Amino acid sequence: MTTTALPSDVALRRLATTDSTPTSSANISPLDSPRSSPSSTSLSSLASEDAVLQKPVVAGADKKVQLIDTYGNSFEIPDYTIGDIHKAIPKHCFERSAAKGLYYVGRDIVTLATTFYLFHRFVTPENIPSTPVRAGLWFLYTVINGLVGTGLWVLAHECGHQSFSPSKVLNDTVGWICHSALLVPYFSWKISHGKHHKATGNMARDMVFVPVTKDEYASKRGYLVHQIQELAEETPIVTFYALIAQQLGGWPAYLFFNVTGHNNHESQREGRGKGKHNGFGGGVNHFDPKSPLYEAKDSYLILLSDLGLLITLSALYWVGKTYGMANLFVWYIAPYLWVNHWLVAITYLQHTDPSLPHYLPESWTYTRGAAATIDREFGFIGRHLMHGIIETHVLHHYISTIPFYNADEATEAIKKVMGRHYRSDTKDGSLGFLKSVWKSFRWCNWVEPLEGTTGEDAGVLFYRNRNGLGMPPKPDQK
């Protein structure tokens, strides 16, 4: 396994300048935007945390500040188009098979049912008198079905992107059933997620993951901006608490309050965003047909999504009333919480890494935003239980209609086009994936532009942190 954005000692200590602007497309060409599809309505090896970094400097009037990522490595804006990406991918990679899609859905459902049957049949007081042993085995059940349930979630995600099969009706039917069973509002999520793909990495328009700025980071913690650099780094226990809160509450908080999505709702073209804001009581959520996340034409789809949730909740109420809440918790709620955990971890690590940029609207293009993602490696779990969503996410942001079983081949094809702009972190495999959650949480506190940049470079933002890791934040005027 290799890493393609590895921090190096040379880069970490470099005073970087350049004489020319990296070749890029300043404007969005007709090809440099997502293709319309039926779906429209988430590095490093462990770099030394003690590395001493130097700021880039301007070396003369004819030179400009080189963009530098959080590690201290030089960064160049992508210089290819979405058309180049499409041309590089073999035609057969775009082919979708309903039979294959249904096979994988059937496989996941049978696995969930078989696991439940085996544990329910054999992990009983009669067969295993020891309560601690039984509890441990049932905990194992929640982990297994949480992983398999995440895979079923991913297949519904394929349906939302129309990569499941050539049939839109089949896609939306399977997606609605599978996502509703996992308490996901299918069409509501599909619409907002499609907009996320159209604006990935755009600080003003991304519908799923907009990192906080330094001002926002400070205000959420009750600090003045200039205090951040004067404070000691956060203790491991504080970091751990915040990480647990994110992993347990991140997904419902996104659905109910649109946390991590953009908060620029006044620009909603039908005026639905007037006075609306993210957070409790802000009127921005995935359940209300009048939410500014949607348009009037979407109303019946939002209601259909809510109906799917109502059916599932009614079934769960019956199970709890018939078999007891303790059984309902072990059989469904605990695996459901594992699914939420994996969804948040996957999405977070797809868009959060010290090597990744984000863009202000004036510097953003579709091609640049799609490249602001990273592939990771989760071994057998990622490739077989979660259907490769972790390992091939960069490709997915360029062309979301390619089915997951063709994504590895297509990823290899686009690497030749992306070159140095393709990022992956596969060091240490599954263990490395888990380590990255902790590392990114400490390295990536907020985003900001590099001091001294001008023009479109001033609209390229990188992660900085209060923990003294990597490149230091910009100095603030007190």
Mean pLDDT computed over 345-363? 97
Output the six-digit token pair for 214: 């330094």
pLDDT attached to residue 6: 45
pLDDT per residue as tens digits for the range 97-151: 999 999 999 999 999 999 999 999 999 999 999 999 999 999 999 999 999 999 9
277-281 contact pairs (CB < 8 A, 24+): none
pLDDT-based confidence at residue 3 (cuts at 50, 70, 90): low
The predicted model gives 199-220 an average pLDDT of: 92
- Higher per-residue pLDDT: 1 or 91: 91
446 contacts: CB under 8 Å, gap ≥ 6: 211, 212, 213, 214, 216, 217, 463, 464, 465
Mutual angle of helices 334-351 and 131-160, in 10-degree steps: 50
Q: Are strands 460-464 and 446-449 parallel, antiparallel or unpaired?
A: antiparallel
Task: Report residue 34 CA to chain centroid gap.
Answer: 18
Average pLDDT of the segment spanning 217-243: 78
- The pLDDT value recorded for residue 219 is 84
* Tokens representing residue 160 in the block: 């939302």
Q: Is the pLDDT of residue 40 over 80?
A: no
Q: What is the mean pLDDT of the segment spanning 270-292?
A: 95
Q: Render pLDDT for 382-434 as a digit per residue (tens, 0 to 9).
A: 999 999 999 999 999 999 999 999 999 999 999 999 999 999 999 999 999 99
**What are the φ and ψ backbone dihedral angles of 74, each rounded to 5 degrees?**
-70, 150
Q: Quick one: pLDDT band at residue 227, thresholds 50, 70, 90?
A: low
Whether the predicted pLDDT of 159 surpasses 90: yes
pLDDT for 161 beyond 70? yes
Question: What is residue 5's predicted lDDT score, i.e. its pLDDT?
Answer: 53
| Maximum alpha-carbon separation in the chain | 82
- Residue bearing the bigger pLDDT, 33 or 68: 68
**Residue in 206, 469, 473 with CA at minimum distance from that of residue 358:** 206
Using a pLDDT cut of 70, give the percent of the chain over it: 84
| pLDDT value for 319 | 98
User: pTM for the full model?
Assistant: 0.85
What local confidence, expressed as pLDDT, does residue 2 receive? 47
pLDDT band at 316 (very low <50, low <70, confident <90, very high): very high
Sequence-separated (6 or more) residues with CB below 8 Å from residue 403? 95, 96, 97, 100, 101, 158, 163, 164
Percent of residues, the chain, with pLDDT higher than 90: 78
Q: Describe the crossing of helices 186-198 and 299-323 by its angle, rounded to 10 degrees.
A: 130
For residue 62, pLDDT beyond 70: no
